[in-house]
Amino acid sequence: MSASRRKFLKLAGLTALGWSVCPSILRASTSEVIGDRAEGKALHAKRWAMAVDTHALNEKIMQKCVNICHKIHNVPEFDSEEEIKWIWAAPFEHLFPGQMHSRLMEVPEEKTLSLCNHCNNPPCVRVCPTKATFQREDGIVMMDFHRCIGCRYCMAACPYGSRSFNFSDPRKHLKEPTPDFPTRTKGVVEKCEFCAERLTEGKQPACVEVSEGALLFGDLEDPHSDVSKALEERYSIRRKPELGTEPCVYYLI
């Protein structure tokens, strides 16, 4: 009796194993991607980070970065306090209020680029009551626009002013919406997402692509990435490091 039960269990186990293996084999053989977005092209990292080469940036490049970002992400244009921005040019003393003074030996460029810092310890994520803002495993601080209820806690929590709120219908302020990216509605907060949607397609963030080398993007944990190499060779600062948010956008001075 016990021998036949043993045999039965063995057989059952083998059958289950066969079932679990077979579908994946079938799938692999007939796999086909619709369009040109092949599986496996996506860029991965343990910790995405950006380095801003403040000397290489100039007014023209900064404008190019802002324009491309705002165009592909359907960021509306306002000429008022309702302004919405994902990436923007700002004076150094605004971005680094604690680190600039009038007797600085080497005065940096007048302005540089500012965007979401994708902090390692993001205060916006901690305060979001609906988990619309969350941090991915690769460090990107993402937004699920579907879930945002517009409470603006995240805007109060972010010490960098990286978040903008849609006080009115953004569609009315978009000249030509890009169909490949959603717009937002009134009452939703938005910000830079390190072009998460482009990373899955295997592309670098749009601003990095047009920056003529002034913006570097890569894996902070990989010693051979552009970002790691630049940080090793040059002196860099981060915005408001004393707050403990651990920003992942570095400024090369």
Using a 10 angstrom Cβ sphere, with 0-12 exposed, 13-18 middle and 19 or more buried, the burial of residue 196 is middle
E-only strand ranges, 127-205: 133-135, 141-143, 164-165, 189-190
Q: Which of 19, 20, 25, 35 binds other proteins (CB under 8 A)?
A: 35
d(CA 225, CA 104): 31
Residues in contact with 176: Cβ distance below 8 Å, sequence separation at least 6, in sequence order:
none
Whichever of 14 and 33 has its CB closer to other proteins, that residue is 33
Using a 10 angstrom Cβ sphere, with 0-12 exposed, 13-18 middle and 19 or more buried, the burial of residue 79 is exposed
| 20 is a contact residue toward other proteins (CB under 8 A) | no
* Residues counted in the chain: 253
Contact 226, 216 (CB under 8 A): yes
| Least spacing, CB of residue 112 vs other proteins, in Å | 30
Q: Which of 54, 99, 117, 183 binds other proteins (CB under 8 A)?
A: 183
| Least spacing, CB of residue 180 vs other proteins, in Å | 6
| 31 is a contact residue toward other proteins (CB under 8 A) | yes
For residue 181, give both structure tokens.
Answer: 């990216």
| 145 is a contact residue toward other proteins (CB under 8 A) | yes
| 223 is a contact residue toward other proteins (CB under 8 A) | no
| 200 is a contact residue toward other proteins (CB under 8 A) | yes
DSSP-based three-state secondary structure for 203: coil
d(CA 73, CA 14): 51
| 32 is a contact residue toward other proteins (CB under 8 A) | yes
d(CA 103, CA 106): 9
| Least spacing, CB of residue 94 vs other proteins, in Å | 31
| 184 is a contact residue toward other proteins (CB under 8 A) | yes
Contact 159, 123 (CB under 8 A): yes
| Least spacing, CB of residue 13 vs other proteins, in Å | 26
Whichever of 40 and 223 has its CB closer to other proteins, that residue is 40
Using a 10 angstrom Cβ sphere, with 0-12 exposed, 13-18 middle and 19 or more buried, the burial of residue 160 is buried
Q: Which stretch binds other proteins (CB under 8 A): 115-123, 144-152, 207-215, 218-226?
A: 144-152
Binding map of other proteins across residues 66-85, x = CB under 8 A, - = no contact: --------x-----------
Whichever of 131 and 224 has its CB closer to other proteins, that residue is 131
Q: Which of 25, 39, 80, 129 binds other proteins (CB under 8 A)?
A: 39
Q: Which of 121, 144, 156, 234 binds other proteins (CB under 8 A)?
A: 144
For residue 57, give both structure tokens.
Answer: 């940036």
Q: Which of 18, 129, 179, 223 binds other proteins (CB under 8 A)?
A: 179
Binding site for other proteins (CB under 8 A): 26-27, 30-35, 37, 39, 42, 74, 134, 136, 142, 144-146, 177-185, 200
